[in-house]
């Protein structure tokens, strides 16, 4: 039976979920945050050591300004409201992405949250914010000293000292990676769901985990 160390999520479909209910796309994003909280709680229950959520990609800056502003406001409000609860649950937070390019107030909140939770051990929650995998790989290559090899490159990725995702779950119906963890997902089991992110439940996660446990993983072998 496969050991499960790390699950990654591409949380697609928030905007469409809101529009389907004659609400705004931003309403869908708000509901999506509630789903993140539910799935983190379920991940603790299912004893998953690491989860990673694709929150805001480096390509999301192409969206309308009002939507970008709302997404960044949601991130800020989430940390201000939830940091005490996050800490009580024993959640260790990491941020993947170029946070130096974010506004000073959001950058400060993210860095403070990382420091406050760094000793927590119940679960590690990685949030990919202003993240793009191609930029991550280029940045890693630039930071390698001397001759480049796999080990040196991997030690300069955001996932250094972490197991790579065993499972990737993408909601929303699209079957693509969207510049997310391209290096780390080489041997990951991929699950694409038509269900939109706000509709994703802990029972959906459990079904995928059960299927993963029975999957034969060869990693290039037989």
Indicate which residue of 60, 94, 126, 130 is catalytic. 60
- Distance CA(201)–CA(195), nearest Å, equals 10
Is residue 199 over pLDDT 70? yes
Is residue 220 over pLDDT 80? no
DSSP sequence for 163-211: PPPSEEEE-SS----TTSSTTTTTTPEEEE-SS-GGG--HHHHHHHHHH
Is residue 194 over pLDDT 80? yes
* pTM of the complete model beyond 0.85: yes
Is residue 217 over pLDDT 80? no
Instruction: Give Cα 175 distance to the centre of its chain.
Output: 17
The mean pLDDT of 180-191, rounded to a whole number, is 97
Helix axes 65-88, 104-117, angle to 10 degrees: 20
Q: What is the pLDDT of residue 221?
A: 65
The answer to whether the CB of 76 falls within 8 A of the CB of 109 is yes
Confidence of residue 125 (pLDDT cuts 50, 70, 90): very high
> Is 12 one of the annotated active-site residues of the chain?
yes
Q: How many angstroms separate the Cα of 150 from the Cα of each of 10, 100, 171?
A: 26, 26, 31
Is residue 91 over pLDDT 70? yes
Is residue 222 over pLDDT 90? no
Report the percentage of the chain scoring pLDDT > 70.
98
pLDDT digits (tens, 9 = 90+) for 32-67: 999 999 999 999 999 999 999 999 999 999 999 999
Indicate which residue of 12, 26, 130, 166 is catalytic. 12
Is residue 218 over pLDDT 80? no
Q: Where are the domains of the chain?
A: 6-214
* β-bridge partners, 9: 53, 169
Does 3.40.1180.10 match the CATH number of domain 6-214? yes
The answer to whether the CB of 106 falls within 8 A of the CB of 32 is no
> Is 204 one of the annotated active-site residues of the chain?
no
pLDDT digits (tens, 9 = 90+) for 59-90: 999 999 999 999 999 999 999 999 999 999 99
């Amino acid at each position: 039976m496969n050991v499960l160390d790390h699950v990654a999520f591409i949380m697609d479909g928030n905007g469409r979920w809101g529009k389907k209910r004659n609400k705004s796309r931003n309403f869908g994003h708000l509901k999506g945050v509630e789903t993140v909280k539910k799935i983190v709680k379920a991940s603790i229950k299912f004893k998953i050591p690491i989860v990673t959520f694709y929150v805001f990609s480096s390509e999301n800056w192409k969206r309308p300004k009002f939507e970008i502003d709302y997404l960044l406001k949601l991130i800020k409000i989430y940390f201000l409201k939830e940091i005490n609860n996050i800490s009580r649950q024993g959640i260790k937070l990491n941020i993947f992405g170029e946070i130096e390019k974010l506004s000073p107030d959001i950058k400060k909140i993210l860095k403070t949250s990382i420091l406050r939770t760094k000793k927590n051990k119940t679960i590690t929650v990685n949030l990919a914010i202003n993240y793009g995998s191609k930029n991550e790989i280029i940045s890693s290559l630039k930071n390698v000293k001397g001759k480049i090899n796999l080990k040196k490159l991997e030690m300069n990725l955001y996932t250094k000292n972490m197991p790579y995702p065993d499972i990737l779950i993408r909601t929303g119906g699209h079957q693509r990676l969207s510049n997310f963890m391209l290096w780390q997902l080489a041997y990951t089991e991929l699950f694409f769901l038509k269900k939109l992110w706000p509709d994703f439940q802990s029972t959906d996660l459990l079904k995928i985990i059960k299927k993963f446990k029975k999957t034969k993983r060869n990693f290039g072998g037989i």
